[in-house]
Amino acid sequence: MSEWDEDTNITEQADLTSPPAADARNRAYLIVLVGSAVGEMFKLPAGDAVIGRTRHATVRLDDDGVSRVHAIVRAQGDRLVIDDKGSRNGTFVNGHRVNGSAVLADGDKIQVGRTTILKFTYHDSLDENFHEQMYESALRDGLTRLFNKRYFGDRLDGELRFALRHQSALALIMIDVDHFKRINDTRGHVAGDAVLAEVAARLATAVRNEDVVARFGGEEFAIISRATSRADAMKLAERLRRTVAARPIIVEDGAPLPVTVSIGVAAYPEVAVKEPDDLIEAADKALYRAKTAGRDRVSD
C-alpha cells in the first residue's frame, strides 16, 4: 500500500476512551521511549491517529526510517489496533512485525522505522499532568524557563534534516547579551540572573509559537525558526534587538539597567550546510561580526 500524500488533511477529534475495564485510566497515549522526541507524550484522538513524518501526523516523528504516513492507530470495536501503511522499514509491536493490523494492549512497545520506539499506554489526568511536568523539567533551563541546550540540539538536528529533505528554509539566530560580565562584576550575580530571565522573557514573547527559543549557554540564546528565509530572519532578529533594548531592566536594587544584545543570523539554503554544527558555526560567526562591529546590532 502506498503512503498517503504529504498534504492529506487529518481532522482532529475528541479524546479516545478505552473500555470501561481500564478503571478510569481512560486516555490512550503514545510515549516516545527512543528517538529524537524522547519523552514526548501524544494523546490519541477518537479517530485515526497517524504516526509519521507528514506535518499533519498526530504523532509526528522526523526520525530516519520513518515514512510520511508510517502507521495508523484506530478503534476497532472497544479495542485499539495499529495498521502499518506500507512503510519502508515496517512497524513492530513487542518485536513482532505488523502485517495488516495488531491489537494494542497497555504497555506494548511499538517500533517504527529503524530506531524510534513508542510505548502505548492508558493514563488518567493525574498521570498526564505528572508526565508533562517531568518532561518539561527535563527540557527547560531552570533560570530562564526557556528550552535547554540538549533540547535545542535535538530540535535543530530534526529541523535541519527536514529542511534538507524538503528543500525548505530554516533560520538559526544566535543572541548574546552585551557586556554581561560587566553587569555581573558591577551589579552582582543576582542582577545578572535577573537580566538573563528578563531578556529570555522578552525574546519568548517576540517570536512565533512554532519557533524554538533556547538558552544556549551563559548569556547566549538561540532561536530556531523553520520556514524562514534569510531576509525574514534578519527582520525577526532586528525586532528582537529592539525588543530587548526598548526599556531598561529593573533589577533587585530597583535601579534601571539598560541592556542590549548582539545577534547573528544564518539561514539555509542561503548558507550551504549539511550538519547542525555547520549552521551553528555560521550563526556564531555572524554573531562575532555583530559584536566586533560595535555590539547592539544584527549581522549575517
Catalytic residues: 219
User: Hey, what's the cell of 94?
Assistant: 513487542
C-alpha 93/C-alpha 164 separation (Å) is 31
Yes or no: say if 96 and 34 are a contact pair by the CB < 8 Å rule: no
3 state SS of 23: coil
As a whole number of angstroms, the distance between CA 193 and CA 182 comes to 13
User: Exposure string (b/e) for 13-25, b if CB count within 10 Å is 16 or more?
Assistant: eeebebeeebeeb
DSSP 8-state secondary structure symbol assigned to residue 135:
H
The amino acid sitting at 17 is T
What helix, strand, coil percent values describe the chain, rounded to 5?
30, 30, 40
Query: What SS3 state is found at 190?
Result: helix
Which cell numbers in the block locate residue 63? Answer: 526520525
- Can you read off the three cell numbers belonging to residue 178? 552585551
